[in-house]
Chains A and B, each alone.
Chain A
Amino acid sequence: MTTKVEIQDLTKIFGKKERQALELVNKGHSKEEILEKTGATVGVNKANFKVEQGEIFVIMGLSGSGKSTLVRMLNRLIEPTEGSILIDGDDISKMNKDELRKVRREKVSMVFQNFGLFPHRTILENTEYGLEVQGVDKAERQEKAERALENAGLLPYKDQFPNQLSGGMQQRVGLARALANDPEILLMDEAFSALDPLIRRDMQDELLDMQETMHKTIIFITHDLNESLRIGDRIAIMKDGEVVQVGTGEEILTNPANDYVERFVEDVDRSKVLTAENIMEKPQTLRLKQSGPRVALKRMKTESLSSMLVVDKNHTLKGYVTDEDVLTATNQETKDLEPILRTDIPKVSKDTLVNELYDIIHDSQTPVAVVDENDKLLGIVVRSLVLGALAKTREEEVINEQ
């Protein structure tokens, strides 16, 4: 393993009286004390860590902990007040503008929380941007950008504009754009935080898949503990501008460095026990009074399903229909789903533990519906999801024992 990125005593102070505040930082005063004495805010306080070649290094902390400031100092979108940033041994903080621009163009790319796509450029033009500013000629940069979009499965959308795409797709473009100029290091600033939970999980999986073949050095910023445990090879925890602990997820869970980390870990432990909400999927549903047996049959055919859930217009769960019943009803020219509606479907709340789900789903012929207190349908859990989740936990246990 070689060190790709190393930061040494990296410090950022916002506000006037920078020098005075810096002295206090060096004397080891806390963020509050310095704010009180000088009016200056310490963004990042003497941060130190090394990132190895090819690892996903997660920087985690709550908002205001300085993680976004820290990542922006790595490519000097924010100028460090003191300290050094070594990439392949070269000190970024001492570079002149031209050298810095070269690093930004060739070595380090960035993915932004709100995607940072240019609204006036098409998806292809956005993806080309990094190559375009390097002066790569049009044919070559289009080819590279199209390849990057192809890998993200977005080539059909290349002539659309960002606002025509969903959030998840926009962030895939953001990622494709960052990868188009084949950087060695990827900075991801809360890249998935603006996405809804199901999409976020997909994106995490895609990132991990991609990493298996690409072996980039990824520095990933997040405030989400599950996310850091899921994707991080190693995790740095930040609080009030200081790096409190660096280690693998396992090390941090089993051996928290201080109370702050421990409080995090308690949270993690609770959420690490998976619930129905964590594994549920978006269900295919039929709307009662609106869809008849013919619609049901057609949709079951195209989605290859043997049963489908039925809801009313408020998305309240009414029951389910099976393919056999639907077929019979179609032959009898029935117009309504009501007569063939079955109601013996197991319902659980979103907080039901996966272990309990296993018992329920084992005895059931149908998928399990996840509903809220008003019977509103939130998601669906099928047997393979439960088994998959259990298998993963067991895998982790085996690794833990080793």
Chain B
Amino acid sequence: MNSNIMSSIMDQIPQIPVSQWMNDFIAWLTQNLSWFFNSIRDGGSWLMDGITDLLIFIPPLLFIVLMVALAFFASGKKFGLPVFTLLGLFYIYNQGLWEPLMFTITLVLVASLLSILIGVPVGIWMAKSKAANWVITPILDFMQTMPAFVYLIPAVAFFGIGMVPGVFSAVIFALPPTVRFTNLGIRQVSDEMVEAAEAFGSTGSQRLFKVELPLAKPTIMAGINQTVLLALSMVVIASMIGAPGLGERVINALQRAQVGPGFVSGFALVVLAIILDRVMQGFNKSKND
């Protein structure tokens, strides 16, 4: 009986219009800040088209050679990774996916750079300020747990379709690891290091740049590595709102239930992810030794 009363009380309360609120909020932003979003969209498209054109302009053979050389030095002059890079990139070229690959690289590059530019300073701020840490931590939790697809909706509202909303949603999705790891890396610097820096009369920024950031670097790099891989995965999802690249091919294959083309593009993404991950890890490791 009690439960009946309870449920009837609960039914008495009208549905809270969360959905309406979000609609109104996004609509308000779109209307009032359209000049802002439009200029970002125009500038962003111009920049990213430029980068992609440049990448496509580089002869594929030269590009492959450069990547193999990079892999060679990143892996500490071993041969496994360079061979994989050579074969993997040749596969992508062979399957006629070179141009989509360049679009995907542009998107990942821009999204990762933006995430780092925003994420590292925010992480430093969180490490220095208890209040910032207290406020930003739940926001990061929110950003990471919200299903990635949801970000596509406001992205379209703000920026239409194309590369810019793709990068926008990728940055939101990929930002948290860089912020968290920067914060963690700085907080992990031992008390004695901080005391030594202070005892010799360092200013706040001297302590940060001469002691804390160098000591936190391996941790920050681990965060950036995760950010890049998350950006790659989000760039694929962002193909649903018209971001070009390898993801676009996967989505097309999905819509037409074509197993073959789906896997061909899927493999290409795997190749790209492995090269990115191993090259970054390699550089991080070799610098720490």
What mask results when residues 96 to 138 of chain A are scored 1 for a CB within 8 Å of chain B, else 0?
Answer: 0000011111101110111011111000000001101110000
Q: From DSSP, what is the main secondary structure of chain A's interface residues? A: mixed
Q: In whole angstroms, what is the CA distance A118 to B200 when docked?
A: 13
| A133 B199 Cβ-Cβ under 8 A | no
What mask results when residues 194 to 217 of chain B are scored 1 for a CB within 8 Å of chain A, else 0?
Answer: 011011111100100011001100
With A118-B193, A133-B210: A104-B203 Cβ-Cβ less than 8 Å: no
Partner of B201, one of A104, A117, A187: A104
| A119 B201 Cβ-Cβ under 8 A | no
Nearest residue in B to A189 (C-beta to C-beta)?
B195
| A129 B200 Cβ-Cβ under 8 A | yes
| A104 B200 Cβ-Cβ under 8 A | yes
Within 8 A of A (CB), among B193-246: 193, 195-196, 198-203, 206, 210-211, 214-215
| A133 B196 Cβ-Cβ under 8 A | no
Interface size on A, residues (CB 8 A): 27
| A116 B193 Cβ-Cβ under 8 A | yes
CB distance from B256 to the nearest CB of A (A): 54
Q: In whole angstroms, what is the CA distance A112 to B192 when docked?
A: 8
Q: Kindly list chain B residues whose C-beta atoms are within 8 Å of the C-beta of A103.
A: 201
Nearest residue in B to A177 (C-beta to C-beta)?
B200
Q: Kindly list chain A residues whose C-beta atoms are within 8 Å of the C-beta of B202.
A: 133
Q: Kindly list chain A residues whose C-beta atoms are within 8 Å of the C-beta of B210.
A: 129, 132-133
Q: Kindly list chain A residues whose C-beta atoms are within 8 Å of the C-beta of B215.
A: 118-120
Q: Kindly list chain A residues whose C-beta atoms are within 8 Å of the C-beta of B196.
A: 110, 112, 116-118, 129
Partner of A133, one of B192, B195, B201: B201
Q: From DSSP, what is the main secondary structure of chain B's interface residues? A: helix
Q: Kindly list chain B residues whose C-beta atoms are within 8 Å of the C-beta of A77.
A: 195, 198-199
A75 at the binding interface (Cβ < 8 Å): yes
| B195 A116 Cβ-Cβ under 8 A | yes
CB distance from A204 to the nearest CB of B (A): 22
Q: Kindly list chain A residues whose C-beta atoms are within 8 Å of the C-beta of B200.
A: 104-105, 109-110, 129-130, 133, 181
Q: In whole angstroms, what is the CA distance A130 to B195 when docked?
A: 13
List the count of A-B residue pairs having beta carbons below 8 Å apart: 56
Interface size on B, residues (CB 8 A): 15
Q: Kindly list chain B residues whose C-beta atoms are within 8 Å of the C-beta of A112.
A: 192, 195-196
Nearest residue in A to B288 (C-beta to C-beta)?
A120
Within 8 A of A (CB), among B163-205: 192-193, 195-196, 198-203
Partner of B214, one of A108, A120, A132: A120
Q: In whole angstroms, what is the CA distance A187 to B192 when docked?
A: 14
| A118 B199 Cβ-Cβ under 8 A | no
Q: In whole angstroms, what is the CA distance A118 to B216 when docked?
A: 12
CB distance from B185 to the nearest CB of A (A): 13
Nearest residue in B to A114 (C-beta to C-beta)?
B192
Q: Kindly list chain B residues whose C-beta atoms are within 8 Å of the C-beta of A113.
A: 192
Q: Kindly list chain B residues whose C-beta atoms are within 8 Å of the C-beta of A108.
A: 199
| B193 A133 Cβ-Cβ under 8 A | no
What mask results when residues 71 to 102 of chain A are scored 1 for a CB within 8 Å of chain B, else 0?
Answer: 01001010000000000000000000000011
CB distance from B192 to the nearest CB of A (A): 5
Within 8 A of A (CB), among B131-180: none
Most buried by A among B192, B201, B206, B215: B201
Nearest residue in A to B202 (C-beta to C-beta)?
A133
CB distance from A87 to the nearest CB of B (A): 14
Q: Kindly list chain A residues whose C-beta atoms are within 8 Å of the C-beta of B214.
A: 118, 120
| B203 A133 Cβ-Cβ under 8 A | yes
Within 8 A of B (CB), among A115-172: 116-120, 129-130, 132-134
Q: In whole angstroms, what is the CA distance A344 to B199 when docked?
A: 56
CB distance from A103 to the nearest CB of B (A): 8
CB distance from A93 to the nearest CB of B (A): 16
Q: Kindly list chain B residues whose C-beta atoms are within 8 Å of the C-beta of A129.
A: 196, 200, 210
Nearest residue in B to A180 (C-beta to C-beta)?
B200
Q: Kindly list chain A residues whose C-beta atoms are within 8 Å of the C-beta of B198.
A: 77, 104
Q: In whole angstroms, what is the CA distance A103 to B199 when docked?
A: 10
Q: In whole angstroms, what is the CA distance A355 to B189 when docked?
A: 51
Q: Kindly list chain A residues whose C-beta atoms are within 8 Å of the C-beta of B193.
A: 116, 118
| B192 A130 Cβ-Cβ under 8 A | no
CB distance from A134 to the nearest CB of B (A): 7
| A130 B211 Cβ-Cβ under 8 A | no
Q: Kindly list chain B residues whose C-beta atoms are within 8 Å of the C-beta of A72.
A: 195
Most buried by B among A104, A109, A119, A129: A129
CB distance from B245 to the nearest CB of A (A): 38
Q: Kindly list chain A residues whose C-beta atoms are within 8 Å of the C-beta of B211.
A: 118
| B203 A75 Cβ-Cβ under 8 A | no
Q: Kindly list chain B residues whose C-beta atoms are within 8 Å of the C-beta of A132.
A: 210
Q: In whole angstroms, what is the CA distance A75 to B210 when docked?
A: 21
Q: In whole angstroms, what is the CA distance A238 to B256 when docked?
A: 81
Q: In whole angstroms, what is the CA distance A133 to B196 when docked?
A: 12
Q: In whole angstroms, what is the CA distance A362 to B242 when docked?
A: 96
| A104 B192 Cβ-Cβ under 8 A | no
Nearest residue in B to A129 (C-beta to C-beta)?
B200
Q: In whole angstroms, what is the CA distance A132 to B209 when docked?
A: 13
Known: A101-B201, A130-B200. 17 other contacts (CB 8 A): A75-B199, A77-B195, A77-B199, A102-B201, A104-B200, A110-B196, A112-B196, A116-B195, A116-B196, A117-B196, A118-B196, A118-B211, A119-B215, A129-B210, A133-B203, A133-B210, A187-B199
**Which A-B residue pairs are the 10 nearest by beta carbons?**
A105-B201, A104-B201, A116-B196, A110-B199, A130-B200, A120-B214, A101-B201, A116-B192, A133-B202, A133-B206
Give 19 pairs: A residue, B residue, CB < 8 Å, sorted on A: A75-B199, A77-B198, A77-B199, A104-B199, A104-B201, A106-B201, A110-B199, A110-B200, A112-B195, A114-B192, A116-B193, A116-B195, A118-B193, A119-B215, A129-B200, A133-B200, A133-B201, A133-B210, A134-B201
Q: A residues within 8 Å of B by Cβ? A: 72, 75, 77, 101-106, 108-110, 112-114, 116-120, 129-130, 132-134, 181, 187
